[in-house]
Amino acid sequence: MFAKILIANRGEIACRVIRTARKLGVRTVAVYSDADTKSLHVEMADEAVHIGPSPVGESYLRGDRIVAAALATGAEAIHPGYGFLSENPDFVGQVVAAGLIFIGPSAASIRAMGLKDAAKRLMEKAGVPVVPGYHGEAQEIVLLASKAREIGYPVLIKARAGGGGKGMRRVEHPDNFSEALSSARREAKAAFGDDHVLVEKYVDKPRHIEVQVFGDSFGNVVHLFERDCSAQRRHQKVIEEAPAPGMTPALRKAMTDAAVKAAKAINYSGAGTIEFIVDASQGLQADRFWFMEMNTRLQVEHPVTEMVTGTDLVEWQLRVASGEKLPKTQSEIALGGHAFEARIYAEDAARGFLPATGTLHHLKFPETAPEGASIRIETGVRAGDAISPYYDPMIAKLVVHAKDRKAALEALGEALSRTEIAGSTVNTAFLAALAADPDFCAGNVDTGLIGRHQPALTEVAPPNGETVAAAAVAASSAGVSPPTDDPWSSLAGYAHFHSVARRTRLKFGEDDILAKVSVRPDGHFQVALDTPYDSANSHDLRAAPRLAHWPGHITVFEGAVGYTFAVPDPLARTDEAAAASGSLRAPMPGLVKLVRAAKGDAVIRGQPLLILEAMKMEHTIAAPHDGVIAEIATEGAQVTDGTVLVRFVEEQGASTAVAG
């Protein structure tokens, strides 16, 4: 076993690797950028080395600096985690050339599976079924459009490099092919430095089912059963589970046999995942699945496999890379119970899952699970950490395990309802709604489920009177003593507050709320809210709610929903003139990738004006109303959340809008 390893990653996965390394007595070296100077993975590691500025191209993608850090600290091997350089064969070459060990597959294996088109040709030769489509080198638009017509619409344009839904577009009609191709190529180039694409038949009711495989340097390859990752938004996984619901013995055998065959075809060593697309339109059948791609690394969703097989896949990685054989044979790997993983992100589900930023002023996860279930939190952040625009906005992975799918799903819903995050917009309410969706609960899942149910899944009811009243009590406590999450005790001890009602002002979205809070002799609170906001008007609060104070705000938690109220500073001067009338603002930090209008243009509501790139994904910014453009951002401009992108001529009567 190694004495010391370097982890060429950050956040949750870096912390995950450190925990297993510590268990095995292996010392760890972290690397970090400017933005991660005080991050959790830096704190947890035995040593840490600064490798550059915050942008990934100047830090986490600098293989030369990472290798130099490993040599300088005496590390024997490098663990790549996932993302960044984890599937970069040139980086593997750098590691090996420096006399270090790469904790993962060989450069040759990564190259064989790194480009989707080449990988599919290889799989065809190995006898693994592949999706009908065009996987060739020629990239002329006329040829690709012709192939799309031959395949038959709808088709899926996919970047041949990378994954995560980037560079992927579904096309329903030939008239839309050119625009979709251009958009997919731009996104692929930005994310992977490669704009080559392939075109495939779009499966009407696709299930995304993948098989975890593991190989060693002695020629052994095993599988650790399957995971279902069909619950996706914008081609990105949301909730994963193991085993796949509705899986039949015949299909499981066919898929796992194909997965092992695929890994052996490239002499694979280390952790890998063979991803299949399954046609579920007529139920799960053994002849209706096709190879999509192989991820030559550890997957984000690997914990669900660990939970149902009782293994530590990171430990397996370290053992295999250090020259040991696989810890178990195929016959020794058993499947037990059911597990779910929910990815908690800083994102606004109601606004098309736009990534969010902010400081995590309050962060609390459930510590226990219902009887018969277990819970596991994988995170790389703590309360007080900031969600940076430079990296993926995942906050944590919430993982549960129970005896069967029904019990595990109940445990997932309960765990989400007890998760508290304040300071950034998060997706916990959406995850809870998905976990309670009737089709999802029944296992009737495919990759289009979220899209079909998106309005219902992302709609959050406004706060009720009791919630607003609780926020008013909490706001009142801020003026009595240092802010506390227990205003019940702080206000009850304030003698002067008993005789006179305290007036409090709150703001929820665009709503101004006035409240009058009184403490009764029995210690309960009487809250009167101005109508017409609340028809009940008066509320008698007897129990302290779950809430969090943070600068200028109060968040009240109702199940998985966090209602955030602004608490205006009565001494602060308001400047209504500061609001830019008739302007369109950036909904998130990003890069202005493409501008489609110019100063003086007359535009109509819904017309695309520019494309904003954030988190390596493209977001179309459209006109919120008819108008004439007075000013518009320039291509290549780096903007922050709230930056004015477009100003309209005031005579058009436009009002301020934020892109959605």
* 282-316 tens-digit pLDDT: 888 898 899 989 999 999 999 999 999 999 999 99
- Read off the pLDDT band of 497 (50, 70, 90): very low
Is the separation of the CB atoms in 75 and 4 below 8 Å? yes
Query: pTM for the whole thing?
Result: 0.81
Rounded to the nearest 10 degrees, how much is the dihedral formed by the CA atoms of 423, 393, 391, 171?
-140
pLDDT of the residue at 201:
87
The confidence score (pLDDT) of residue 579 equals 35
Is 297 noted as a catalytic residue in this protein? Answer: yes
CA dist., res. 26 & res. 44, Å (int): 13
CA-CA-CA-CA torsion sign (548, 563, 399, 164): negative
Q: Are 45 and 29 in contact (CB under 8 A)?
A: yes
Q: What is the mean pLDDT of residues 568-578?
A: 44
Read off the pLDDT band of 653 (50, 70, 90).
very low
User: Per mean pLDDT, which range of 155-169, 327-341, 609-623 is the poorest?
Assistant: 609-623
pLDDT of residue 116: 76
Q: What does 479-504 look like in DSSP terms, one character per residue?
A: TTSS--S-HHHHHHT-GGGTTSPEEE
Q: What is the pLDDT of residue 202?
A: 87
What is d(CA 518, CA 516) in angstroms, rounded to the nearest whole number?
7
Asked if residue 367 has pLDDT above 70, the reply is yes
User: Are 377 and 444 in contact, with CB atoms under 8 Å apart?
Assistant: no
* Cα 465 to Cα 470: distance, rounded to the nearest angstrom: 9
Mean pLDDT, to the nearest integer, of 607-631?
83
DSSP secondary structure letters along 49-72: EEEE-SSGGGTTT-HHHHHHHHHH
What pLDDT is recorded for position 488? 53
pLDDT in tens, 97-156: 999 999 999 999 999 998 777 888 899 888 899 888 898 889 999 999 999 999 999 999
Q: Please check the confidence at residue 521 and state whether its pLDDT lies above 80.
A: no
pLDDT exceeding 90 applies to what percent of the chain?
66
Catalytic residue among 297, 319, 418, 647: 297
pLDDT score at 490? 52
